[in-house]
């Protein structure tokens, strides 16, 4: 993907069932010179059609849709190996919703009531490779990776955190911003955001490995030993 | 299963076995006539008090068996029984078989000794418990028509000399008879004695485990004494002087009888336990007297004491039998049967010793006592099995009761759990209600009032709703298990208030360097803390004249554990806290009280600081 936001407008699709929120988001995105809103939808099915027909650079999706879940839309992107970067729109930004979306392959999340400038800033950060992470999510991830045990022979290898990633997660969980973390640790801002993005990718990889193991356990997929 | 019935059958079997055994032994004792040998009973006897045979001594014809030494009529310690054997009627070689002799015998053919049962000088070998057999080589009878057979017998003043019929004939046949008799009289009896010894050890082991069951001890003691007495019969050469030995054997037999009586007292709860010391006293008196008197009156005196104890045995057996007929208690029944057998066999042996029955008979007491112990052992096993059954039944009942109690406990636990849940739910509802009332509920009502009054101020309305959302988010964050750690909860608060600070161009410096990540507060306390900070920050946003805020959180050790210290500083002029009128600050004070914490304010030229101290931090789960 070309990440030069100044030269190439990025196509974007928004799926949100609340019409006023949808209109607000569409207005913010539509008025941004670098973002090209190619379609909006209030349902899962229409959103899926928009996604598959347009394969946009960015998908903004709510999770609770009247005929499905935004997480399934995100899974479609991973499943079909589409270039689209998915971003979840959430009211609370709570761990339960965001983590599930991140596990499915989302690259970021937005609070629905964020200021217009915050919304476009978050989108541009995501395009540049950044990923937002709240202290609550960092706290969850610290526990998630701490509790990981060494996989058995028959299990797919699981990604583990590096010491640097763990230190960054620790600071994020305490409420430090990426900029502050970079300053305190004498790192570049880009390095910190890359670490955060890598942590999300590891979460997604492990999540897929867990899904495979669960499928093997349920007899849906044959393991290597069988 | 009816153990009484089964054990009763066992008893019958045991009695059958005993009868069969007795019949066999009796038949062996009579040694029925077989054609290949002769049973010699006609002899001429010469008696003397010295071991030197004088062929010229007067001879007396008699018929065997003969009690040749009885202290009154024949006070001699040696005797020679002579007869003539016609060689044509004998096999070559031939054997001389002596089933019973007291105490020692040697056999001479034409003056040549062909064998003996041991020493003829003191201590004289004791063979009264074993048969003897000797072999005459062929050369002795070669070329002669007849030979002179002499049986030399000897004992001492302590014995009652006896010689039973003598068998002469085919060596193979007589060896067979000798072995049969030797088996019953020696080997089988020795085996029984050893068995008794092992039973005694088992009984002692049981007593060691169950000291309150004293009958185990007396049962073991009786069996042990019987085993010792039985083995005494087969000691050919005694290691001590004869008198001491006889006193010792008399003591063992008497002690066996006392131990058996005491066992019956303890086992059946019948008899006179108070009589036990008298029995022991009798033993002491008996032994003391026996040590003092000479052989002439030794056995007579011993018999009087023995009769006393047999008399008590008869009485005791009668009482046990009567107790069984009254109570039908299994122990009493079996003991009565076993006691009767023991007394009958003892009486049989007494008749032999009294000379009423031929000494040729086997001493049935040797079999009677094991029979007694066998029957009692069966009863003890039966009692043990009953105890096992009772234990199993009790264990089963206990198991059932434990299960019932478990179920009851589970039910109580479930009820308590429901009560707890209900109480927790009620508490949680009250807490949320208060949060709604103090927080976004009030904001929403304000927004609604504005809408209904048609005095819509868009900025104010937006603020109402934004504040409501913030309240909701902070509440949700406090309930999130991932924000239970104080550091994470504070971090979340920062992300929540940052957009508001941004609208006022307030910068927030954040320092949680000295706040460990692994300290927790419970959700209620977390929410109170977040609400306090939210209110204080909100006040800064509303009233501060500065443009910088700094929040520092750290942990310090105190006498009451770890305490959390939060310093909120702003570079403005601050405000005079009024807890009476300001609703927000009233809530702050209430929440600080809920937290058992403290709040202080400090003002100087650099700015305004609020210090919060919260105790009771917990290590992370």
The residues near A140 (Cβ < 8 Å, ≥ 6 apart) are: A95, A99, B482
Residues of chain B with confidence (pLDDT) below 70: 1-35, 71-72, 353-355, 359-360, 482-483, 574-582, 620-621
The confidence score (pLDDT) of residue A147 equals 67
Q: Contact B472/A137, CB-based, under 8 Å?
A: no
Task: Find chain B residues with C-beta within 8 A of A174's C-beta.
Answer: 487-488, 490-491, 510, 512, 515, 517
Task: Find chain B residues with C-beta within 8 A of A175's C-beta.
Answer: 487, 490-495, 510, 512
8 Å CB contact between B620 and B485: yes
The 3-state secondary structure of B289-313 reads HHHHCCHHHHHHHHHHHHHHHHHHH
Find, in chain A, the residue whose alpha carbon is nearest to that of B466.
A113
Question: How far, rounded to the nearest angstrom, does the alpha carbon of residue B621 sit from its chain's CA centroid?
Answer: 47
Residue B504 phi/psi, 5° resolution?
-100, 10
Task: Find chain B residues with C-beta within 8 A of A172's C-beta.
Answer: 491
A95 part of contact set with chain B, CB < 8 Å: yes
Q: Which of B482, B484, B502 to mutate to test the interface with A (most CBs of A within 10 A)?
A: B482
Q: What 3-state class would DSSP assign to B553?
A: strand
- Looking at residue B187, the DSSP 8-state letter turns out to be I
Q: Contact B469/A113, CB-based, under 8 Å?
A: yes
A18 part of contact set with chain B, CB < 8 Å: no
B466 part of contact set with chain A, CB < 8 Å: yes
The confidence score (pLDDT) of residue A138 equals 87
* pTM for the whole structure: 0.52
pLDDT tens-digit series, residues B571-602: 987 666 655 556 778 888 888 998 899 999 88
Q: Which of A92, A122, A136 to mutate to test the interface with B (most CBs of B within 10 A)?
A: A136
8 Å CB contact between B87 and B147: yes
Q: Contact A113/B488, CB-based, under 8 Å?
A: no
CA nearest to A166, candidates A147, A146, A186: A146
The confidence score (pLDDT) of residue A221 equals 57
Q: Which of B473, B487, B488, B509 to mutate to test the interface with A (most CBs of A within 10 A)?
A: B488
Q: Contact B480/A94, CB-based, under 8 Å?
A: yes
Cα separation values, B95 from A218, B135, B141, B168, B360, Å: 93, 4, 12, 6, 20
8 Å CB contact between A56 and A30: no
Task: Supply the ipTM of this predicted assembly.
Answer: 0.81
The confidence score (pLDDT) of residue A1 equals 37
Task: Find chain B residues with C-beta within 8 A of A137's C-beta.
Answer: 482
A84 part of contact set with chain B, CB < 8 Å: no
pLDDT tens-digit series, residues B396-436: 999 999 999 999 999 999 999 888 888 878 877 877 777 77
B490 part of contact set with chain A, CB < 8 Å: yes
* Extended beta strands in B444-526, E state: 507-511, 519-520
Q: How far is B516 from chain A (nearest CA, A)?
A: 10
A203 part of contact set with chain B, CB < 8 Å: no
CA nearest to B299, candidates B450, B158, B445: B158
Q: Contact A135/B492, CB-based, under 8 Å?
A: yes
pLDDT at A3 over 80: no
pLDDT at A83 over 60: yes
Q: Which of A24, A98, A135 to mutate to test the interface with B (most CBs of B within 10 A)?
A: A135
A100 part of contact set with chain B, CB < 8 Å: no
Distance between CA atoms of residues B576 and B540, nearest Å = 12
The confidence score (pLDDT) of residue A5 equals 44
Find, in chain A, the residue whose alpha carbon is nearest to that of B478.
A136
Distance between CA atoms of residues A146 and B166, nearest Å = 102
The confidence score (pLDDT) of residue A218 equals 67
Give me the mean pLDDT over the A22-39 stretch: 92
Residue A6 phi/psi, 5° resolution?
-75, -30
pLDDT tens-digit series, residues A118-149: 899 889 888 888 888 888 888 888 888 876 65
Give me the mean pLDDT over the A71-81 stretch: 91
Q: Can you name the residues that pair with B561 across neighbouring β-strands? A: B558
B510 part of contact set with chain A, CB < 8 Å: yes
Q: What 3-state class would DSSP assign to B402?
A: helix
The confidence score (pLDDT) of residue B159 equals 74
Provide the token pair at B465. Answer: 């709703």
CA nearest to B508, candidates B482, B540, B477, B480: B540
Q: Contact A118/B512, CB-based, under 8 Å?
A: no
A183 part of contact set with chain B, CB < 8 Å: no
A206 part of contact set with chain B, CB < 8 Å: no
Helix residue spans in B44-86 (DSSP H): none
CA nearest to A200, candidates A171, A168, A174, A156: A168
B550 part of contact set with chain A, CB < 8 Å: no
């Amino acid at each position: 993907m070309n990440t030069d936001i100044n030269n190439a407008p990025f196509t974007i699709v928004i799926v949100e069932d609340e019409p006023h929120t949808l209109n607000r988001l569409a207005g913010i995105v539509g008025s941004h010179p670098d973002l090209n809103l190619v379609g909006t939808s209030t349902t899962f099915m229409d959103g899926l059609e928009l996604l598959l027909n347009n394969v946009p650079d960015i998908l903004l999706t709510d999770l609770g849709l009247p005929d499905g879940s935004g997480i399934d839309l995100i899974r479609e992107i991973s499943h079909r190996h589409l270039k689209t970067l998915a971003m979840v729109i959430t009211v609370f930004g709570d761990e339960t919703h965001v983590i599930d979306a991140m596990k499915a392959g989302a690259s970021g999340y937005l609070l629905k009531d964020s200021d217009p400038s915050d919304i476009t800033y978050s989108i541009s950060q995501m395009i540049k490779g950044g990923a937002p992470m709240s202290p609550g999510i960092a706290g969850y991830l610290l526990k998630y990776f701490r509790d990981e045990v060494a996989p058995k022979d028959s299990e797919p290898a699981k990604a583990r955190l590096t010491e640097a990633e763990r230190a960054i997660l620790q600071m994020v969980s305490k409420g430090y911003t990426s900029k502050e973390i970079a300053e305190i640790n004498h790192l570049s801002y880009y390095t910190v955001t890359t670490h955060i993005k890598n942590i999300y990718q590891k979460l997604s990889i492990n999540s897929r490995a867990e899904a495979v193991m669960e499928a093997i356990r349920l007899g849906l997929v044959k393991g290597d030993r069988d | 299963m009816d153990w009484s019935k089964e054990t009763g059958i066992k008893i019958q079997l045991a009695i059958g076995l005993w009868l069969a055994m007795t019949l066999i032994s009796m038949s062996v004792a009579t040694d029925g006539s077989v054609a290949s040998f002769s049973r010699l009973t006609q002899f001429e006897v010469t008696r003397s008090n010295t071991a030197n045979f004088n062929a010229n001594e007067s001879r007396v014809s008699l018929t065997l068996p003969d009690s040749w030494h009885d202290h009154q009529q024949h006070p001699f310690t040696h005797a020679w029984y002579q007869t003539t054997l016609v060689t044509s009627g004998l096999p070559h070689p031939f054997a001389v078989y002596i089933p019973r002799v007291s105490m020692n015998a040697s056999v001479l053919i034409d003056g040549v000794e062909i064998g003996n049962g041991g020493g003829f000088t003191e201590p004289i070998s004791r063979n009264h418990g074993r048969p003897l057999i000797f072999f005459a080589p062929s050369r002795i009878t070669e070329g002669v028509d007849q030979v002179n057979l002499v049986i030399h017998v000897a004992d001492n003043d302590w014995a009652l000399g006896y010689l039973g019929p003598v068998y002469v004939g085919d060596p193979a046949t007589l060896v067979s008879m000798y072995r049969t008799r030797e088996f019953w009289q020696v080997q089988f009896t020795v085996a029984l004695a050893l068995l008794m010894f092992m039973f005694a050890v088992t009984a002692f082991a049981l007593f060691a485990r169950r000291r309150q069951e004293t009958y185990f001890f007396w049962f073991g003691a009786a069996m042990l004494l019987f085993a010792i007495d039985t083995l005494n019969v087969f000691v050919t050469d005694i290691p001590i002087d004869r008198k001491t030995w006889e006193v010792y054997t008399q003591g063992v037999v008497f002690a066996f009888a006392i131990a058996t009586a005491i066992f019956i007292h303890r086992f059946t709860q019948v008899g006179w336990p108070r009589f036990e010391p008298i029995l022991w006293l009798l033993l002491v008196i008996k032994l003391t007297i026996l040590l003092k008197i000479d052989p002439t009156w030794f056995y007579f005196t011993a018999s009087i004491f023995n009769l006393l104890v047999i008399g008590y045995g008869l009485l005791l057996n009668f009482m046990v039998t009567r107790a069984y007929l009254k109570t039908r208690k299994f122990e009493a029944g079996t003991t009565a049967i076993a006691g009767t057998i023991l007394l009958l066999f003892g009486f049989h042996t007494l008749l032999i010793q009294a000379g009423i029955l031929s000494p040729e008979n086997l001493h049935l007491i040797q079999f009677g006592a094991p029979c007694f112990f066998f029957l009692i052992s069966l009863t003890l096993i039966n009692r043990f099995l009953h105890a096992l059954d009772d234990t199993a039944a009790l264990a089963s009942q206990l198991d059932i009761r434990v299960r019932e109690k478990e179920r009851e406990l589970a039910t109580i636990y479930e009820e308590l759990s429901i009560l707890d849940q209900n109480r927790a739910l009620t508490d949680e509802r009250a807490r949320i209600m208060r949060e709604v009332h103090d927080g976004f509920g009030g904001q929403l009502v304000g927004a609604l009032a504005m809408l209904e009054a048609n005095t819509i101020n868009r900025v104010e309305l937006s603020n109402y709703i934004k504040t409501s959302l913030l309240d909701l988010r902070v509440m949700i964050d406090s309930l999130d298990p991932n924000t239970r750690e104080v550091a994470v909860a504070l971090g979340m608060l920062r992300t929540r208030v940052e957009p508001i600070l941004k609208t006022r161009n307030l910068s927030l410096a954040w320092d949680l360097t000295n706040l460990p990540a692994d300290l927790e507060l419970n959700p209620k306390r977390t929410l109170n803390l977040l609400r306090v900070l939210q209110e204080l920050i909100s006040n800064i946003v509303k009233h501060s004249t500065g443009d910088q805020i700094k929040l520092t959180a750290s942990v310090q050790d105190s006498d009451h554990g770890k305490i959390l210290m939060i310093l909120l500083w702003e570079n403005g002029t601050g405000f005079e806290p009024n807890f009476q009128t300001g609703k927000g600050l009233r809530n702050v004070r209430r929440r600080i009280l809920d937290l058992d914490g403290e709040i202080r304010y400090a003002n100087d030229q650099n700015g305004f600081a609020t210090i919060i101290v919260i105790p009771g931090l917990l290590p992370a789960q």
